[in-house]
């Protein structure tokens, strides 16, 4: 299928899909992308109310957004999701193309190697690697020439942050970084840019709201950053918004760490 064809008027609003946009980094990315003049499809898995809050935040800015459910760990649902996206594009924005895809949805938390079960390992694989990889493939026919893909990785893949218990999580994130670099080369002939962004420890709901439940762990983590604090979702969301924008049109194949100098 030719992904370069388009019926969109030249003055139509660009549209981005942000997965896992019901809270945290995904919500911030969705809002910041909307600030740059994009319509946004915000996906959620189990928190529709969170996604609707994201939509309201965007509408309060004067933007347009839609919330659609997506289980990124279940690739069999992707064709139906694409149909929902196509309907939203036509009905809300009068287009049949998207201009950006942010693969943010996932989960955190570690598991010691000795305790790792195949089912646990497979969950890391389905959600953190297979999901974003094949979601991008499913949506590729909708990606306009010159579109941008941003895959959310993790600073845990870098040397110097090899905390015990994260071999499964970091292994999948590292594979996503490598796959993204190759996709940047392969999709570059279509003008599609592919980058990864590697957040450091960020105040989100990750690990079952660990930072909210155990605030005593924050000072030690903050002390490992050059800037002396945890990251906030907006620290990451603004960089994602930059990467999907025309301001970053000469950046592709990069893994950009946004971690406040964590582990320097």
Enumerate domains of the chain plus CATH numbers: 15-258 (3.40.50.720)
Q: What is the pLDDT of residues 103-156, one digit of tens each?
A: 999 988 788 999 999 999 999 999 999 999 999 999 999 999 999 999 999 988
97 and 8 in contact (C-beta within 8 Å)? yes
Query: β-strand 255-258 against 193-199: which pairing, if any?
Result: parallel
- Res 175 pLDDT > 50: yes
What does the pLDDT average to over 232-241?
97
Task: With cut-offs at 50, 70 and 90, classify the pLDDT of residue 161.
Answer: low
Burial of 17 (0-12, 13-18, 19+ CB in 10 A): buried
- Res 199 pLDDT > 50: yes
CA distance 77 to 258: 32
Q: Position of tokens 């895809």?
A: 101
Name the catalytic one among 166, 169, 214, 262.
Answer: 169
Q: At what angle do helices 167-187 and 131-139 cross, to 10 degrees?
A: 20
Cβ neighbour number for residue 125 with a 10 Å cutoff: 16
Q: What is the pLDDT of residues 129-141, one digit of tens each?
A: 999 999 999 999 9
Cβ neighbour number for residue 162 with a 10 Å cutoff: 12
Please give the structure tokens belonging to residue 202.
């960020």
CA distance 188 to 251: 11
Query: β-strand 65-69 against 255-258: which pairing, if any?
Result: unpaired
Q: Is 166 a catalytic residue?
A: no
Q: Which pLDDT score is estimated for 263?
A: 79
CA distance 79 to 240: 26
Task: With cut-offs at 50, 70 and 90, classify the pLDDT of residue 6.
Answer: very low
pTM: 0.90
203 or 26: whose pLDDT is higher? 26
Q: Position of tokens 């025309």?
A: 246
CA distance 178 to 253: 9
């Amino acid at each position: 299928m030719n992904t370069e064809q388009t019926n969109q008027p030249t003055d139509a609003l660009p549209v981005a899909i942000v997965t896992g946009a019901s809270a945290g980094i995904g919500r911030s990315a969705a809002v910041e992308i909307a600030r740059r003049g994009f319509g946004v499809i915000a996906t959620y898995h189990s928190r529709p109310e969170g996604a609707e809050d994201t939509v309201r935040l965007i509408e309060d800015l004067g933007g347009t957004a839609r919330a659609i459910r997506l289980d990124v760990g279940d690739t069999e649902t992707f064709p139906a999701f694409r149909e929902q996206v196509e309907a939203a594009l036509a009905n809300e924005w009068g287009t049949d193309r998207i201009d950006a895809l942010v693969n943010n949805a996932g989960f955190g938390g570690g598991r010691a190697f000795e305790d790792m079960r195949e089912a646990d390992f497979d969950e890391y694989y389905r959600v953190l690697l297979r999901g974003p990889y094949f979601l991008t493939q499913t949506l590729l026919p909708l990606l306009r020439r010159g579109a941008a893909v941003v895959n959310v990785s993790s600073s845990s893949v870098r040397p110097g942050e090899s905390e015990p218990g994260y071999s499964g999580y970091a292994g999948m994130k590292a594979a996503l970084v490598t796959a993204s670099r190759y996709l940047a080369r392969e999709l570059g002939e279509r003008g599609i840019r592919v980058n990864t962004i590697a957040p450091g420890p960020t105040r989100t709901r990750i690990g079952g709201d660990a930072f909210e439940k155990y605030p005593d762990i924050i000072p030690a983590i903050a002390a490992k950053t050059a800037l002396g604090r945890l990251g906030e979702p907006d620290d990451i969301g603004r960089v994602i918004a930059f990467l999907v924008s025309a301001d970053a049109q000469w950046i592709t194949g990069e893994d950009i760490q946004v971690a406040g100098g964590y582990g320097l």
